[in-house]
């Protein structure tokens, strides 16, 4: 019986360590990070320094899967407010800024993946 209890405690401890401690990113943080990119995403040219800096901030705010999914949902909501965002510019933003991202930048995001 004692070994069963010890085994259960070990399994419980392992499960607790496996939980991703997401930082509960908010849509306000996502909007603030990528707000400076709207001019680029709707008109082209080159993304501003503030836009690329914001993209880097978004990457830093989304280290865990739960954070990335939340940010993804926020991006979908933001994209619906700006129907003139160009998909080609959205998908190429990370390359234009030379910043790898944890969250796809697209109007047609599938957040569950």
CATH number, domain of 86, equals: 1.10.110.10
Are 43 and 49 within 8 A, CB to CB? no
Please give the residue range of the domain that contains residue 44.
27-108
Higher pLDDT, 36 or 11: 36
Q: Is residue 49 part of a domain?
A: yes
Q: What is the pLDDT of residues 20-56, one digit of tens each?
A: 454 589 999 999 999 999 999 999 899 999 999 999 9
What is the model's pLDDT at position 6? Answer: 38
pTM beyond 0.85, yes or no = no
Q: Is residue 103 part of a domain?
A: yes
Q: Is residue 17 part of a domain?
A: no
Q: Is residue 8 part of a domain?
A: no
Sign of CA dihedral 9, 13, 19, 23: positive
- What is the tally of structural domains in the chain? 1
Pairwise CA distance, residues 64 & 106, whole Å: 19
Q: Is residue 99 part of a domain?
A: yes
Q: Which of 62, 35, 29 is nearest to 50 (CA)?
A: 35
Q: Is residue 75 part of a domain?
A: yes
What is the model's pLDDT at position 2? Answer: 56
Q: Is residue 74 part of a domain?
A: yes
Q: Is residue 95 part of a domain?
A: yes
Q: What is the pLDDT of residues 57-108, one digit of tens each?
A: 999 999 999 999 999 999 999 988 999 999 999 999 999 999 988 888 887 8
């Amino acid at each position: 019986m004692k070994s069963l209890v010890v085994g259960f405690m070990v399994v419980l401890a392992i499960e607790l360590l496996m939980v991703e401690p997401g930082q509960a990113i908010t849509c306000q943080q996502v909007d603030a990070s990528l707000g400076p990119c709207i001019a680029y995403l709707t008109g082209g040219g080159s993304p501003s320094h503030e836009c690329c800096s914001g993209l880097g901030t978004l990457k830093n705010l989304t280290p865990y899967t739960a954070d990335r999914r939340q940010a993804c949902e926020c991006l979908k909501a933001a994209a619906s407010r700006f129907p003139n965002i160009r998909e080609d510019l959205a998908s190429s933003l990370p390359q234009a800024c030379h910043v790898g991202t944890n969250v796809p930048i697209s109007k047609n995001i599938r957040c569950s993946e």
